[in-house]
Amino acid sequence: MENDVLMFIMVILVQLIFASLMLGIFTSYFVNSRKKGFVFLTIYLLLTINSLYSGYQYSAIVGTSIVLINIGLGIVSYFVIRKRLTNVSDS
């Protein structure tokens, strides 16, 4: 039982770090070049689908946690991109 909880925590932390890094890189690419941003987003979405598939095979709780992490960080990325693009257009 202890190993399952530890594995759950490790998977969630790795997914949180991975998603944060990927969405940070995506934000940078999207602000500089939308075409490169959409290409990077496509790659990120394919990797996320793979993570979701693996997460739901492991446990429904892990899969749902991965979905919630990606939705939450996606919303944060949206607001960061919107703020950066309005700052660029105002300058």
Per-residue pLDDT of the chain (91 residues; tens, 9 = 90+): 567 888 888 989 999 999 999 999 999 999 999 999 999 999 999 999 999 999 899 889 889 999 999 999 999 999 999 999 888 777 6
Apex 19 CA angle, 14 and 25, nearest 5: 130
pLDDT attached to residue 35: 94
Euclidean distance between CA atoms 16 and 66, whole angstroms: 8
pLDDT attached to residue 13: 93
Q: Check: CB of residue 88 under 8 Å from CB of residue 28.
A: no
Q: Can you give the residue ranges of every domain in the chain?
A: 2-90
Q: What is the pTM of this model?
A: 0.85
